[in-house]
Amino acid sequence: MVKNIGLQDRNIRYGAGALLILAGLFLQSWILGILGLIAVGTAYFGTCLAYIPLNISTKKQGE
């Protein structure tokens, strides 16, 4: 897969994903938990599938 997520985007996704997972646990909402897992997963793998058809990349040269 093509890596299209830069360092700043990755860190934001990790933080937002962690918050969504915690909110899902506290509010007992499995939907928030799944959204959090998706955000963390895309950050971990460095690829956002929604960016591919739109030809978007937040990576800077050298990352």
What are the tens digits of pLDDT across the range 16-39?
999 999 999 999 999 999 999 999
Q: What is the pLDDT of residue 63?
A: 78
Residue 62 has pLDDT above 90, yes or no: no
CA–CA separation, 30 and 54 (whole Å):
29
Enter the DSSP assignment of 60: P
Write down the H helix ranges in the chain: 7-27, 30-45, 51-54
What integer best gives the mean pLDDT of the chain? 95
- Whether the pTM exceeds 0.85: the reply is yes
